[in-house]
Structure 1
Amino acid sequence: MEAPRGIGTFAVWDYVVFAAMLLISAVVGIYHAFAAGGQQTPKDFLMGGRRMTAVPVALSLTASFMSAVTVLGSPSEVYRFGAIFSIFAITYFLVVVISAEVFLPVFYKLGITSTYEYLELRFNKYVRLCGTFLFIVLTILYTGIVIYAPALALNQATGFDLWGAVVATGVVCTFYCTLGGLKAVIWTDVFQVGIMVAGFASVIIQAALIQGGISTILNDAYNGGRLNFWNLNPNPLQRHTFWTIIIGGTFTWTSIYGVNQSQVQRYISCKSRFQAKMSLYINLVALWAILTCSVLCGLALYSRYHDCDPWTAKKVSAPDQLMPYLVLDILQDYPGVPGLFVACAYSGTLSTVSSSINALAAVTVEDLVKPHFTSLSERSLSWISQGLSVLFGVLCIGMAALASLMGSLLQAALSIFGMIGGPLLGLFALGILVPFANSIGALVGLLAGFAITLWVGIGAQLYPPLPERTMPLRLETYGCNSTYNGTNWMTTTEMPFSTSAFQVHNIERTALMDNWYSLSYLYFSTLGTLVTLFVGILTSLSTETTMLFLISKITSPAGLFACRFWRKKTERRPQIPTNQRGLYIQF
């Protein structure tokens, strides 16, 4: 096995590859701004004219999933906690099936642009506004993390100014998203997912060659306890076990794929319901491929540094910097390839941020502008959509500053989705799966779910779980010799190892901290969803003497089954007509 050397630096060809990726992304946006007459209506800008097909939409969904948080955070996760992360393969299957068979049919049949329009059809406008507000907060917070992640990679790899990279990310995304709308987002994603796969593949192939083959990498991982696939401990306080990943992960990712506007907006832009479903199932295959690449990169990291951990040895200031460190270590003799990896991380960010900006513009136009300014023309709404894209691009850049305080990128991102996405998933599930739920139950359930997850989420940030809960695996430094210590290592922007920069130190631990605040971050979404559902059901039953069952277009097949179940236990009464999108039946 080749002896470790000092890491390399960016060369001219690396900058050329990186700049080419940015240029092509911008050109795609310009093309779709003017192709076929440009973005004449909000439908063209926000929904691609509802003429998209399965394959590009599937690749776009994949690219957004494979953000820089995935490129940098997942291999680091495997390096520190082991290959149990690969159990997410089962989670992804469950998430895609639930999204395709429960949520997609409802949203697609309604022909809506904003998923939160459903909440007004099902409940009332106040529930819709609450859902819209939570989505906007969630998306801006998450996008801040996604913008900060590749800037951190650039800083580690090239010494490029951290905040210069943050601003550049936001500006490029805002540019092509504002010009080209959803079509530009989807087709740049198709290009960028190719860049991301190429970046991962270059690392895996070169690591296998240097380490002596995949078998050596797996052998090192086995000896280091990294092949820990089957931890069946049911304790919900353990950070990652088989059950936390399957149960907690399914709820967390369903809140993203099933009801989050950024994802839903793309698959309901397909020209048919069949194409929309196919986009999700094709995306599943791509998710498995990405997960395999992430796990292999994490095991390659461990094989390379199993006897000299760069983080413990102070060669990097945070675990999320390990992947760019590895790239500059093993690919320094191949001009342009380190640039390809940084372009890989940056592409993940461009795809995620652009889809977030487009979704924020769609929700704001549909939920906040159109209901209050009914006289606006289609052309005016199109201009407003583009202006909102610029505004949200600026806001997302600003939120990246908060992301710099969040610690571990992957856990921070999923924690935010859990705290806000969980109650939102519970709210939609209440409307789609519980026919007798009413607007009072929806509001009370949403507030209860959000309060509970906010409590445990903030508590976990202030009082992070102890090592016996997170269970990090052992990292060694006995192999760090003079070759390492004599190297002039690049200074990087420091970032705390803890999951939070807000951690309270030097305080006596209590049972509340060691139990409630130590709940696995993957269960935040589960907790929020179940509390919202449970409280919503109880409140609906206690505030509605006459049950109103919503059938037809705004209830899923599962909801219709529940309706039939209740009908057998109640006396049939006359029907109450409503609008063309649904039908209320009183029992």
Structure 2
Amino acid sequence: MATATGRFGVWDYVVFGAMLLISAVIGVYYAFAGGGQKTSKDFLMGGRSMSALPVALSLTASFMSAVTVLGTPAEVYRFGAIFCVFALTYLLVVLASAEIFLPVFYRLGITSTYEYLELRFNKHLRLCGTFLFIIQTILYTGIVIYAPALALNQVTGFDLWGAVVATGVVCTFYCTLGGLKAVVWTDVFQVGIMVAGFSSVIIRSVVVQGGIQRILNDSYDGGRLNFWDFNPNPLQRHTFWTIIIGGTFTWTGIYGVNQAQVQRYIACKTRFQAKLSLYINLVGLWAILTCAVFSGLALYSIYKDCDPWTAKKVSAPDQLMPYLVLDILRDFPGVPGLFVASAYSGTLSTVSSSINALAAVTVEDLIKPYFKSLSEQKLSWISKGMSLFYGGLCIAMAALASLMGGLLQAALSIFGMVGGPLLGLFSLGILCPFTNPLGAFIGLLSGFVASLWVGIGAQIYPPLPERTMPLNLTTIGCETETLGNWTATTAMPVLTTLSYAPVTERPVLADHWYSLSYLYFSTLGTVVTMAVGIIVSLLSGGRKQNIDRKFLLTKEDFLSNFAFSKPEKKEKVEVLNWKVHDLADEGIDNPAFNHIEMNFTDNKEKVSGIHI
């Protein structure tokens, strides 16, 4: 390939600006459509009237962040196509989310997933979950805004702070005006932009290389088609087992219990629609994975003899895709802008979901329980105010991220580490009826300490190359002249493309405990939380509890999947003033029960006819 690359032109900025403008217009539309956002339920949950397809596309858009657009192809370029095994992981994640966590959350009609922790345990654990979510989400969202802007700025000359502020402001604007419906429908639009961006790169790569067969042959010769590695060693970064086991725990922590994802699928109008949204989303995940992996193989095929990273034409692996785009699409005005728009569409979808989720947990967990006299209209205005506040906070976090340098990588890893203990906590509540509040708290604390210990240790003492197993790259075919100034450094490579500095002195734990595959961080947190929680609960009289079955996963939840074989009974939503008398000793009087969805077996029965 020719090494001369272009820079961003007028048409590229036009395409990018059009993406932002259309996203903003969608927010304005849903601010007034259907009478506007009159209640907090309308704003935060879309009136619980969403259907499966847009929610599925929204879930897919949030998954396909800029990390996926920029990082996954670079991951395949450096480490090979073993990343494809995540296709099986996604299947397991969707099954676990749809069949274990969704039935319980949907039955309770909650808005914040952390409401469940108060209903099942106590308000203290609810607050623990809420604050952990708020802290990690603000930190992560700021990084999601800043990191791709920096990577694209280094390669394309795309204005760094213009992009950061523009995406942050537009995202905050439509989240504040349109609520969850605006988030979901802008995600639908942004999925189209992301697919178009990926497709433009893939099609042009195939044309440049003279067909798909050459790309596959080059990848095979370069060892990139390494789909299967059954090495059971948990210290090796990516094997079949680390991806299947570790990846399932990591992503279930996001899809199963994370507020940003759960909030959308429980906003569906029926439980069937909620489950359907997850399964349709699975198809989207597979399509994205296929595009990202093939883009990585095309990247290798084009630069197999002249690696831009080793040749210092880019300063970090997450700049490889923008470099490729400007290399092969420089003669097509506006198309590089389409790719950048696709990367930022991923950023917008992730950030908007985070802002809406942050507003939801703040209103439901920190305001509503303590200010019960507030009307729905006031709560709606407070929800909008919280969206505006968190949007500004995320932009400020992006500015702070620019000053933090190497700490950003640690912050991203901590985001993953927190998910494991929280997944363990929810699993204890839903799957283990004997778990009591003491066991849950000690388990959460233990899991958090264990995952932080190994995660922070891995940041201080990164795994050696024999654990990460990067594949060979060469500059033997590079032209002698160098182009441009590529010496600027990226403060943080994306999560999937970690680069490691050599360390002279390493303690014993560094090559064993701290070298645990990053995918097992979440697994470790979940397992330790559940193991300690079960033991402490059994030792402290947990079996003497009388837990209401509606807080647990039951066999009826699974059998209800086959209800289509029986005559359907009309699903009704009753507004009840419910108080959980059997848990009164925990001080629970939860407003969530004002909108519980019930299945009534007899139209004349009210509470006694609840089907669980």
Q: State the partner residue of 1:521.
A: 518
Residue in structure 2 matched with residue 198 of structure 1 by the alignment:
196
Conserved in 2, the CA contact under 8 Å of 1:248 and 1:523? yes
Matches for 1:19-38 after TM superposition, within 5 Å: 19-38=17-36
Partner SS for 2:547:
strand
In 2, the alpha carbon distance for the partners of 1:434 and 1:375 equals 36
- Counterpart among 165, 176, 179 of residue 177 in structure 2: 179
1:144 to 142, 145, 148: 142
Cα pair distance change 1:504/1:227, threshold 3 Å: closer
Find 1:164's aligned residue among 148, 154, 162. 162
Which of these residues, 352, 355, 369, is aligned with residue 354 of structure 1? Answer: 352
Distance in 2, Cα, partners of 1:242 & 1:414:
23
**Is 1:278 the counterpart of 2:276 in the alignment?**
yes
1:265-414, aligned counterparts within 5 Å?
Answer: 265-401=263-399, 403=401
Between stretches 35-44 and 549-558, larger displacement belongs to 549-558
Letter in 2 for 1:300: A
Structure 1 residues 412, 223: CA separation in 2 closer, same or farther (over 3 Å shift)?
farther
- The 1:157–1:94 alpha-carbon spacing in structure 2 relative to 1, beyond 3 Å, is same
TM-fit CA distance, 1:180: 0.5
Which amino acid in 1 is paired with 2:37? Q
The answer for the alignment partner of 1:80 in structure 2 is 78
Decide whether the 8 Å contact of 2:215 with 2:297 is kept in 1. Answer: yes
| Aligned-pair CA distance for 1:473 | 0.8
The CA distance in 1 between the partners of 2:543 and 2:425, in whole Å, is 21
Alpha-carbon distance in 1 for matches of 2:542, 2:9: 72
The Cα shift of 1:553 comes to: 1.6
Partners in 1 of 2:498 and 2:398 — Cα distance? 14
CA drift at 1:558: 6.1
Q: Distance in 1 between matches of 2:212 and 2:438?
A: 57
**1:407–1:292 CA distance, 2 compared to 1 (3 A):** farther
**C-alpha separation between the residues in 2 aligned to 1:227 and 1:474?**
13
- Conserved 8 A contact 1:317-1:496: no
Shift of residue 156, structure 1, vs aligned partner: 3.2
Are residues 1:494 and 2:511 paired?
no
1:239 aligned partner, one-letter code: R
Q: Which residue in the other structure is 2:588 paired with?
A: none
Q: Is the 8 A contact 1:78 1:295 kept in 2?
A: yes
Tell me the residue number matched to 1:189. Answer: 187
Residue 511 of structure 1 aligns with an amino acid whose one-letter code is V
- The change in CA–CA distance for 1:303 and 1:240 in structure 2 (over 3 A counts) is same
Query: What is the TM-score when the length of structure 2 is the normalising length?
Result: 0.88
1:530 to 527, 542, 551: 527
The 3-state SS of whatever aligns with 1:550 is: coil
Cα contact 2:493–2:499 (8 A) shared by 1: no
Q: Is the 8 A contact 1:72 1:149 kept in 2?
A: no
Distance 1:44 1:309, change over 3 A: same
* Structure 2 counterpart of 1:260: 258
Letter of the aligned partner of 1:217 in structure 2?
I
Give the secondary-structure state (helix, strand or coil) at the position aligned to 1:494: coil
Report the Cα distance in structure 1 between the residues aligned to 2:326 and 2:97, rounded to whole angstroms.
39
| 1:242 corresponds to 2:208 | no
Name whichever of 163-172 and 381-390 sits farther off.
163-172
**Letter matched to residue 348 of structure 1:** G
CA distance in 1, matches of 2:22, 2:33: 16
1:552 equivalenced with 2:516 (yes/no):
no
Q: Deviation digits for residues 369-428 of structure 1, max 9, x if unmatched?
A: 01111111111111111111111112222333565557699x868733431000000000
What is the deviation of 1:49? 0.3
**Could you tell me which amino acid in structure 1 is paired with residue 191 of structure 2?**
V
Percent identity of equivalent pairs: 74
Structure-2 residue corresponding to 1:220: 218
Q: Which amino acid is 1:281 matched to?
A: Y
Runs of 5+ consecutive residues of structure 1 not aligned to the other structure = 562-575
Residue pair 2:57, 2:191 contacting (<8 A) in 1 also: yes
Q: 1:63 aligns with which of 54, 61, 64?
A: 61
Mapping 1:117-156, distance limit 5 Å: 117-156=115-154
State which of 429, 434, 457 in structure 2 corresponds to 1:436.
434
Judging changes above 3 Å, is the alpha-carbon distance between structure 1 residues 527 and 209 closer, same or farther for their aligned structure 2 residues?
same
Aligned-pair CA distance for 1:52: 0.3
Q: In structure 1, give the amino acid aligned to 2:490.
A: E
Structure 1 contact 59–190 (Cα < 8 Å) conserved: yes
SS in structure 2 at match of 1:432: helix
Q: Considering only aligned residues, what root-mean-square deviation do their CA atoms show, in Å?
A: 2.4
For 1:338, give the aligned amino acid: P
- C-alpha separation in 2, matches of 1:257 and 1:478: 44
Residue type matched to 2:275 in 1? K
Match of 1:110 in 2: 108
- The structure-2 alpha-carbon separation of the partners of 1:88 and 1:121, relative to structure 1 and needing over 3 Å to count, comes to same
Gaps of 5+ in 2: 559-580, 585-592, 599-606, 608-612
Verify: 1:208 aligned to 2:216, yes or no. Answer: no
Give the aligned partner of residue 420 of structure 1: 418
Distance 1:531 1:558 in 2: 26
